[in-house]
Chains A and B, each alone.
Chain A
Amino acid sequence: MVSLVLAGVGGQGIITVANIVGKAALIEGKNALMTELHGMAQRGGKIVVEVRIGDYKSAIIPARSADIMLAFEELEGARNLSKLKESGVILLNRRMIHPVSLTMKIQDYPERIIAEALSKYKTINVEADQIAMNLGNRRVANTAMVGATFSTGLLNLREESLITAIKESLPEKHWDINTKAFEQGKILPAFETAKVA
């Protein structure tokens, strides 16, 4: 039984990631639930997706009980910390999307408050956007996050299941680049964890 919160901003492809994890669970004959909230903005609004694998009926994760947080955007990660349990792990994509309300008032991104909030948890930085950029397609940042999530070992899913789920979720012409993004996402956090430890 494992629960994941995925938080970010509309347009980051978060739902695809959740879908891949859910499908992989199904491939292994496990029950999986996923629920998404994305408000009324088509792009740029806050998004929260919750995924639970195991014998659950509620797709909504109770407060303080998620095992993993996938923060696709830093502020949105911090905003949803109340879902994460104390021993939970944060996979932090180093991406800042400035809320218009701050920009309008000539204010900087609230890096300090975020860093402080995240510091209470075990946080692993994932350069998902960087990986995607290097591979030449910024859209594959998602799949790098899937790789990172896998290598935490908390998902309790097999690599083959995730790869199969990635292929089931995407057209064949994108398989190659997404498998690469998955591979590279996998390596980084292991390295970072070592550093933190």
Chain B
Amino acid sequence: MEYDLLLGSEGKIEFLLGNEAVVRGLYEAGVSVAAAYPGTPSSEIGDVLYKLSDRIGIKFEFSTNEKVALEVASAASAGGLRSFVFMKHVGLNVAMDSFVSLSGAGVKGGMVVFSADDPSMHSSQNEQDNRFLGKFARTIVIEPSSPQELKDYIVHAFDISEEVGHPVLIRSVTRISHVRAPVRLGEVKKKNEWKYKKSASLVLLPENAYKAQMSIVNRLEKVRSSKYNAILNSVYGDSSTLIITSGAAYNYIDEALQMLNVKARILKIGLSFPLDQEMILGEVEKAERVIFVEEGGPFLEEQVLSLCAIRSINKKFYGKINGSISTSYEMDVDRVAGFLSEIYGMPFQTKTQNLNLPERAPVLCPGCPHRATYYVAKLAMKQRGIQNAIVPTDIGCYSLGYYEPYQLGDYCFSMGSSIGSSSGFTMEAKERVVSFIGDSTFFHAGIPGLINAYHNDHNFVLVIMDNYVTAMTGGQPTPETTPPFKRVDIESVVRGIGIKNVYSMDPYDLKNSLDTFKKALDSNELAVIISKRECALEVDRKRAPSEAKVFQINQDKCNLCYNCVKNFACAAFYVDEGRVYIDPELCDGCSVCSEPLVCPFNAIEVKP
């Protein structure tokens, strides 16, 4: 069966994705409960757990958002079980309220919070470094560098967490979670027994919270003097130049030094908060100069520099604080070599060449229902003479509506922000406000915004693009998915708030959808359109290849009006010497382009 290789016996070596190694780590650590909201680059953990949970005895759920997921896991840990919650970096912002307080309450069974950060924002809206949030919440922070360490450190993290009674934040990044490497499997531990004991420390009323502050300090002190420093930190190399590093950034140093033909002593930190102060300062004292190579912000650098200030240790320091290297974007061998070359005074040139090639912007899939919704939305606005509508959008595949030719999406920054910001825009804007949100995002963080909009009587059109799945992260379930789950119906939720102007439409039916849109645009109070059609990829996953139709352009009928390529812009169309074609390998057979509203000349037809 799929993922059987994650259940192999101790000592076996498998070629695993970082995120798959995480799941093996959970199995080895004896975890009982896990919860998450999907987010790249952490999503595969959920995909694998979803399939394996029964076989490895982990109760796992996709929760509605990261805060709920964290609370689900923390309760299990209060009952003495080992629990795990994982998310992408920005997900921790959503969970922050409970996350910060959790470190005051402490844990009984080991509890690990896993954050997959995304330096360089390969699929994110920012590149925040969540180690800072871990330190802010005063949880323990652990940083692996490779898939093997992801697995091993997860096991250690649970041990520390349980020994000390404190939550641990593990920080991964894209280039660990999405790296595949050999991983040696370890021994599988027994799971803890459920034993819940009531305790004042779990109720953070002011009186108890006051005491909790001291217990945080005590627990962190225990970590500082624990055996785990020796296990998670390492040092090697003989040189008066000390490089302090951690996480993915570590992987690039040896090769960069080799390229420059220079040497350094490398101090690799795995336990990055609280720091093993004496060991680190001992190393710094011995060195002549100290270089920090980290993925993200100057996390170790800030801590070490403040310790040096207190102890009056004065060395040459290079890193992100003195501006030797920028805090933005991910590291790689070339970047580290470039940075080190200036310090060592060795010549190094990154050899890039610039070809002037056309960009390939991310696109909606062929057959994507969002394309049809956007096409109709633009048409309806045009027919109603609405120019310059303000279009807040949200986080999901549909944020690709930002790109040409739709250009629907001019305000977007966090999960659910489309609805709150729409309310704000309607306060003073003269323009019509039309906003877009996906189903999963609506459940995650859209509902409070919609209640606010109705209650405060804000007039805009909200389009909920309902494709029954969390599509952008690979097709995870949503609160609408059944069985085995109970189905939450979006329309009932919206109507339940009290909103009257609610319209459901099938975006593939362009003509009806156009009428629906116009009605909503004509409304003088809040209107909600629910555009319902299953994600094209999901349909594809379920059907046999033989069931799929392919469309083609009848060149005799085609009038070369180019409406299909200019305004509908399915990714399966292409142009060659002025003529329009459909790439049969890309066409999903959705048939939408064959409607007269796209091709007025009926030139698009099923390929026989």
Contact = CB atoms under 8 A, between A and B. Distances in A.
A42 B365 contact: yes
A101 B15 contact: no
A186 interface: no
Contact of A81 (B353, B472, B574): B353
B358 A101 contact: yes
Of A9, A46, A57, the most chain B CB neighbours within 10 A belong to A57
Contacts of B259: 62
Interface in A1-33: 9, 11, 18-19, 22-23, 26, 31-33
Interface string A42-83: 111110000000001111101110000000000110110110
Contacts of B356: 113
Nearest to B572: A44
A108 B365 contact: no
A117 B333 contact: no
Interface stretch (A92-100, A143-151, A153-161, A176-184): A92-100
Given A43-B571, A62-B259, A104-B405, A35 B178 contact: yes
Contact of A103 (B399, B474, B573): B573
Contacts of B571: 43-44, 100
Contacts, number: 172
B230 interface: no
B462 interface: no
B12 to A, nearest CB: 11
A171 B389 CA distance: 51
Nearest to B353: A82
Given A57-B255, A63-B351, A100-B571, A41 B400 contact: yes
A106 B569 CA distance: 11
B264 interface: no
B362 A44 contact: yes
Contact of B255 (A9, A42, A62, A101): A62
Given A22-B15, A31-B182, A43-B366, A103 B574 contact: yes
A32 B362 contact: no
Contact of B562 (A46, A81, A101, A106): A106
A46 B360 contact: yes
B199 to A, nearest CB: 44
A104 B353 contact: no
Contact of B15 (A26, A37, A43, A102): A26
Nearest to B474: A42
Contacts of A22: 15, 180
Interface string A161-179: 0000000000000000000
Contact of A36 (B146, B178, B361, B586): B178
Given A81-B353, A106-B562, A107-B575, A33 B181 contact: yes
B362 A78 contact: no
Using C-beta atoms within 8 Å of the partner chain, give the interface range for chain A: 35 or more
A101 B175 contact: no
Contacts of A37: 122, 174, 178
Contacts of B577: 108
A100 to B, nearest CB: 5
A121 to B, nearest CB: 12
Contacts of A9: 360
B47 interface: no
Contact of B355 (A44, A107, A113): A113
A3 to B, nearest CB: 11
B357 A101 contact: no
B583 A97 contact: yes
B251 A59 contact: yes
Of B337, B351, B471, the most chain A CB neighbours within 10 A belong to B351
Contacts of A36: 178, 180
A79 B179 contact: no
A108 B123 CA distance: 29
Contacts of A97: 583, 586
A93 to B, nearest CB: 12
Contact of B404 (A23, A46, A104, A108): A104
Given A62-B333, A62-B334, A97-B583, A78 B357 contact: yes
A40 B362 contact: yes
Interface in A83-142: 97-104, 106-110, 113-114, 117, 129, 138
Contacts of B254: 57
Interface string B537-566: 100000000000000000000000010011
Interface string B404-437: 1100000000000000000000000000000000
B585 interface: yes
Contact of A75 (B357, B364, B565): B357
Given A102-B575, A103-B575, A58 B333 contact: yes
B576 interface: yes
B175 A45 contact: no
Given A42-B537, A62-B255, A98-B575, 18 more contacts: A18-B180, A32-B15, A33-B180, A35-B180, A39-B122, A40-B400, A41-B397, A42-B365, A43-B571, A44-B363, A56-B255, A81-B355, A82-B353, A100-B361, A100-B363, A101-B404, A102-B575, A106-B562
12 contacts: A19-B15, A22-B15, A33-B180, A33-B181, A35-B180, A42-B471, A44-B586, A57-B254, A60-B332, A101-B404, A108-B577, A110-B357
By Cβ-Cβ distance, the 5 closest A-B pairs, closest first, are A41-B362, A98-B574, A34-B180, A43-B365, A57-B251
